[in-house]
Structure 1
């Protein structure tokens, strides 16, 4: 099953400094049919104006993944962590027993990113944060593992049975990926793609389950982000 969630149908909130699209119910956007996809609870497509950002606020018992599309985001938290994550790179925060964090765009230009929340498998775990660069040429034509709950080498670790993957697709080419029909996959592409023959436009949400494999084709260069979760 491949269900397309058109970009125009997503929840929308424009706060001036923040222009956000919500793939699932979030804040003042509520759609009982879009409360999540498996263990994926939030997928926000955010544009954050330069010299602005999210002031300190708390979280607990959630795995929060930030994939920076353009620009950069600077993280600070109550654990003493601080770091800048640039375009194409990823940061993860396991909120665990509780953490207060802030996310600022200290750049002069807008930052665009995906913020993805996955329900934790380890409630009350110690909170943690990590970030890692992922050069885009390493994922040209194939998915690269960015974060995982399996402590796989070369990827960031989260406390959930999930994988976050990224790829770049050249126009006129295809990527194939094996899938477990029992799991929930969610894919967003920066350009139009076909997934097992089903057409999706740029930044549409593509909700996938009951599929044994994926064939992703595009006519233009695209950046792909995919989450595979229970």
Structure 2
């Protein structure tokens, strides 16, 4: 079963000069009919205007995976971490029992990111952060695992998360077609970033999402050049 979530139909939150579209309802914000998918309970499409910020935010018992799509974002938290995240980089944060963090665009250009929220396997873990890059060359025409709760993925270079999920990305060129096999039980959420993508009979336009439940494989056809980000649920 698949559920198309068009970008223009997503709930919108505006804080100062930061605009967020919510693929999932989070903490009472967002569309009630767009609920969580297993441990995946948040996917925000965030745009920062130049020199804008979200201010200090408190988090508890959540794994947050951030993929920077353009520009640069500065992350800072009360555990002493401060990182400038540039485009084509991924940042993983385990909030643990409690963590406060701020995100800022300190640059003269806009910045865009996906921010994915996952429920951890166990609560009150130790807060931690890690970062890696994934260049266009390493993901062109194939899916690369950016972050995962599977130890085998971590040994292969993915950033570790304490959740039953993996986050993957591919850059597909116009005309590319591939059969994508899902892990059992076959639930996932996929977003086409900047181009049109057919997922079986459903056409996604830029920044649309699709929730997938109970499927074993997907047929993907890129109608334009596009990045494709997918979160697979492992249980």
2:75 aligns with 75
Q: How many residues align?
A: 230
- Contact 1:177 1:214 (C-alpha < 8 Å) held by counterparts: yes
Q: Distance in 2 between matches of 1:16 and 1:99?
A: 23
1:162 aligns with 165
- Contact 1:35 1:41 (C-alpha < 8 Å) held by counterparts: yes
1:50-199 correspondence runs (5 A):
50-151=50-151, 152=154, 153-190=156-193, 191-199=195-203
TM superposition shift of 1:67: 0.7
Q: Which moved more, 1:49-58 or 1:94-103?
A: 49-58
- Secondary structure of the equivalent of 1:55? coil
1:44 aligns with 44
- Secondary structure of the equivalent of 1:167? strand
- Contact 1:49 1:105 (C-alpha < 8 Å) held by counterparts: yes
TM superposition shift of 1:27: 5.5
Q: What is the root-mean-square deviation of aligned Cα atoms in Å?
A: 1.4
- Contact 1:169 1:175 (C-alpha < 8 Å) held by counterparts: no
Q: Distance in 2 between matches of 1:176 and 1:89?
A: 26
Unaligned runs of 5+ in 1: none
Q: Which moved more, 1:20-29 or 1:145-154?
A: 20-29
TM-score, normalisation: structure 2 = 0.93
TM superposition shift of 1:197: 2.9
Q: Distance in 1 between matches of 2:28 and 2:110?
A: 23
Q: Distance in 2 between matches of 1:75 and 1:162?
A: 23
Q: Which moved more, 1:53-62 or 1:158-167?
A: 53-62
TM superposition shift of 1:49: 1.0
TM-score, normalisation: structure 1 = 0.95
Q: Distance in 2 between matches of 1:83 and 1:196?
A: 39
Q: Distance in 2 between matches of 1:130 and 1:220?
A: 32
- Secondary structure of the equivalent of 2:198? strand
1:1-16 correspondence runs (5 A):
1-16=1-16
2:228 aligns with 224
Q: Distance in 1 between matches of 2:8 and 2:29?
A: 14
TM superposition shift of 1:175: 3.1
- Contact 1:180 1:211 (C-alpha < 8 Å) held by counterparts: no
Query: After superposition, what is the alpha-carbon deviation per residue over 1:22-78, rounded to whole angstroms, capped at 9, x for unaligned?
Result: 111136634332121221111110101111212222111000011111101111111
